[in-house]
Chains A and B, each alone.
Chain A
Amino acid sequence: MLEIKNLHARIADDGTEIIRGLNLRVQPGEVAAIMGPNGSGKSTLSYIIAGREDYEVTEGDILYNGESILGMDVAERAASGIFLAFQYPMEIPGVATMEFLKVSINSQRKARGLEPLKTPDFIRAVKENAAKLNIKMDMLKRPLNVGFSGGEKKRAEILQMTLLSPSLCVMDETDSGLDIDALKIVADGVNALRGGDRAFLMITHYQRLLDYIVPDTVHVLYKGQIIKTGGKDLALHLENNGYADVIEEAA
C-alpha cells in the first residue's frame, strides 16, 4: 500500500532537514502506529505524505500502490485515496461545511471518473454518518470548523474520512485535545472503517489512543528515522519506559 524508501526531506524555507533516511512499509489492511518523542518529525511525515509544499523531498521516494506520488499535488494525492486527518483542523470562515463536503466528495469522484453525487444521496450519506459520530446537523450548518470545540473538529475529520472513503488514512495525533468520551467516539468511527485493504498510519505521541485503535505494527520515529519496529506490545513498552532505552539501543 505505502512504501517509503530512504526519504530525506527538509523545510523549503530554511533548509532544515527533518526526515533523514526514513524507511517504512505499510501493507494493505494494516494499521501502523508511528510513535516518537516531540520534534522527531511525526507531523512532518504526515504533511509530506499529503504533499504539503512547505517541505522539499531531497532524496528517496514515496510509493503508493507501487507508484511514486512525489510528482502529484495535494489534491491529486487526496483524490487517489490518501486522506490526512489533521491534528489541528483548519477553521475556514465563509466556507459552508455542507458545501465543502459536497465539493470535496464530487472533486474526488470527478478525478476518479465518476458522476457527481446527487444532492439527496449526498444529504442522506451525511445524515447517516453524522448521527453515528454524534454530530448534530446544526453543527454542519456552520462555516467549516468555525466555533467547533476540539472534540467536534476531530469528529468532523472522521466524518469527512468516512464520506470520502479513502484507502490510506494518515491520522496525525488524532487523540490530542480529546477527553475520554470523545476519544471513544472517534476510535469507534475509525474502527468502523477498518477492514478490507484500507490501511492506517496512526501518528501519536501517547499510547492511550492505541488502547482503542489497536495497531498491527508500531514504529518508533526519532530524528527523522524509524529506529525500531515491533508489534502492539512495543507501544506498551514505550508507555512504561519512555523512549530513552529505545533511543539508546538504536544509537
Chain B
Amino acid sequence: MTIHVPRIHTVGEKALMAAFEAARPVLPGNAAIGAKRDAALALLRADGLPSRKIEEWHYTDLRTLLRGLPEAGKIEGANPLVKNAIVAATDDEGVVHLSQMHGVSIASMAPAFASGTAEDLMRIDSHSDSVGLISTALAATGFEINVAESVEAAAPIQMNFASQTSLHAINRVTIGAKSKATIIERTHGGGLSSVITDLTVDDDADATFVILQELADDATHMARLTINIGKNAKVMLVVINTGAGLARREIDVTLNGEHTDFRIRGMNLLSGERFNDVTMVVRHIVEHTSSTEFFRNVVTGQGRGVFQGQIRVAAEAQKTDAKMACNTLLLSDSGEFLAKPELEIFADDVACGHGATVTEINKDHLFYLMARGIAADEARALLVRAFVSELVDEIDDEALHDALLDRLAKWLATH
C-alpha cells in the first residue's frame, strides 16, 4: 500500500506551476501537444523539482536553486555573430525574422506545433528531467533548419533567441549527407528561457555547431542539445556560457556511424553569484569512432560551476578513441567548480582517457610576462584569455574564430 502525502511545494515550484497554468491557454499545439503540456504540469505538481538526492542533479540542487522566476531582461536586436551570418530570430512572442539561403530551408516551428509533428521534440525522459519538463510545458517557438544533401552552406546560419521574460524554443536542425554547414545558437536577454535542439548530422557531413549563451546575470536558462551523427562525419561543437544566474546545459551525443569524429570545445565563464551546470553524455556505439571533449572554465567572484561528463563506449564500439578534459582556472577563493568526468566502457580494445584540473594562475607564467614589463593586471588578463582562447583557436573559420574571441575578451575585460 502506498500512502500519498501531499507535496509541499517550494516558492520556485509554485511560481513555475503558476507560469505553466497561465501560459497553457495561449500556447500553440494540437491536442496531442496539449496533452503533453498537461502531463508536464501534473508531473511537476506530483514530483516537484529534483533535489540533490537525485543523482543527475546531485551538484545542482534545482529545488533549492530555483527560488522563483527571474525578472525580465533587456534584449538587443537580432545581431549576427559574424557579419555574413544568415539570421533566424525569435523573441518571447514568436519568430520575428527568417532568412533564406541556397540549399538550406529555414522555417518557423509554428506549423509543427499546429500539426503535432513537433511532438517528438517535447520529451520528458524521466521524472527528474526538469529541462525536458520546463521545455515541454512552455515551448512556443523555434526553428526547423534543413541543409540539403551535398550543400556547402555559403554562410553560418544563426538562430537568435532574445528572451525578455519567458522564451521557450524547440529546434530541429538537419545537416544532409556530404554537406558542410555552421549553425549558431545564440541566446541573450533575461527571464526564464529554454532552448532544446535536436541536431542530426548525416553521413559524410561536416558540421560546426556553436552555442553562445550570453544571458543577463539573473536569468535562468535550461538547455539541451541532442546530436545524432552518421558515418564518416565530422562534427565540432563549441559551447560558450558567459551568462545566466542559474543555467543547466545538457548535451547528449550519439555517434551512430563508423569513422566519425566528434569534438566539443566548451568554455564556461563564471562570475558574481552565477551557477552554471554542463551535463554531457557522449555515446560511442559502433566501431572506429573518435571524440574529444575539452572544457575550460574560468571562475571569479562567488561563481559556481558543475561539469558532469560521461563517455559511454558500447561493447560493439571497438577501436573507440575518446578523450575528455575539464580544466578550471579558479581566480577567487570563494568560487567553486565541481567536475565529475566518467568513463563507462564495455569494449576491450579502446583508447579512452579523462582528466580534470583546478588551478590558479601559473605564477611562473605571470613572472615571465611581468619580467617583460607587462603590468600585473594586464599579465593576468593575458593569461586568462590564453587559457580559454586555446580552445577557440581550433576553429578554422577565421571570422567565426575572431568573433568568438572578441566575445570572450569582452567578458574577461569586464569581469
B-contacting residues of A (Cβ < 8 Å)? Answer: 50, 52-54, 73-75, 78-79, 83-84, 86, 89-90, 92-95, 100, 103-104, 107-108, 111, 143, 160, 164
Contact between chains at A75 and B382 (CB < 8 Å): no
B368 touches A86 (CB 8 A): yes
Q: Is the CB of A108 within 8 A of B368?
A: no
Shortest distance from the beta carbon of A104 to any chain B beta carbon, whole Å: 4
Q: How far is the CB of B379 from chain A (nearest CB, A)?
A: 7
For the complex formed, measure the closest distance between the CB of A94 and the CB atoms of chain B, giving whole angstroms: 3
Docked Cα-Cα span, A94 to B389, in Å, equals 6
Q: B350 at interface (Cβ–Cβ under 8 A)? A: no
Contacting residues of chain B (355-400) with chain A, CB-CB under 8 angstroms: 363-365, 367-376, 378-379, 382-383, 385-390, 393
**A90-B373 contact given A95-B383, A103-B378, A107-B378, CB 8 Å threshold:** no
A6 to B369, CA, bound (A): 29
Dominant secondary structure of chain B at its interface with chain A = helix
Contact A94 B390 (CB under 8 A): yes
Question: Would you mind naming 19 contact pairs between A and B with Cβ atoms under 8 Å apart?
Answer: A50-B371, A53-B363, A75-B371, A75-B375, A75-B379, A78-B373, A92-B368, A92-B369, A92-B383, A93-B390, A94-B388, A94-B389, A95-B369, A95-B382, A95-B383, A100-B382, A107-B373, A108-B372, A164-B373
Which of A53, A89, A93, A103 interacts with B368 by CB under 8 Å? A89
Binary per-residue interface labels of chain B (275-298) against chain A in the complex, 1 for a CB within 8 Å, 0 otherwise: 000000000000000000000000
Enumerate chain B residues within 8 angstroms of A92, measured Cβ to Cβ: 365, 368-369, 383, 386
5 closest residue pairs by CB, A with B: A94-B386, A104-B372, A74-B370, A78-B373, A108-B373
Given contacts A75-B371, A78-B371, A108-B372, 16 further A-B contacts (CB under 8 A): A52-B367, A73-B376, A75-B379, A78-B370, A84-B371, A86-B371, A90-B368, A94-B385, A94-B393, A95-B369, A95-B386, A103-B378, A103-B382, A104-B369, A107-B373, A107-B378
- Of A86, A104, A160, which is in contact with the most chain B CB atoms at under 10 Å from its CB? A104
Q: Are B365 and A90 in contact (CB under 8 A)?
A: yes
Instruction: Enumerate chain B residues within 8 angstroms of A50, measured Cβ to Cβ.
Output: 367, 371
A90-B368, A92-B368, A94-B393 given; A104·B386 CB < 8 A: no
| B386 touching A75, Cβ below 8 Å | no
> Would you call B372 and A160 a contact (CB within 8 A)?
yes
B371 and A79 within 8 A (CB): no
Set of chain A residues within 8 Å of B382, measured between Cβ atoms: 95, 100, 103
Kindly provide the distance from the CB of B393 to the nearest chain A CB, expressed in whole angstroms: 7
A49 to chain B, nearest CB (A): 10
Find A107's partner among B367, B375, B383 (CB 8 Å cutoff): B375
A94 to B394 Cα, complex, angstroms: 11
Q: Which residues of A contact B376 (CB under 8 A)?
A: 73-75
How many angstroms between the C-alpha atoms of A52 and B369 in the bound complex? 12
A217–B370 Cα gap in the complex (Å)? 29
Known: A103-B378, A111-B373. A74 touches B367 (CB 8 A): yes
Q: Which residues of B contact A100 (CB under 8 A)?
A: 369, 372, 382
Looking across the interface, which residue of chain A has its beta carbon closest to that of B387? A94
CB distance from B206 to the nearest CB of A (A): 26
Q: Beyond A93-B386, A95-B386, is A74–B378 a contact (Cβ under 8 Å)?
A: no
**Bound CA–CA A50/B367 (angstroms):** 9
Cβ contacts under 8 Å, B388 to chain A: 94
Residues B365 and A104 in contact, CB atoms below 8 Å apart:
no
A94-B369 Cα distance, complex, nearest whole Å: 13
What residues on A are CB-neighbors of B390 within 8 Å? 93-94
Q: Which residue of the partner chain, among A83, A89, A103, contacts B374 with CB atoms under 8 Å?
A: A103
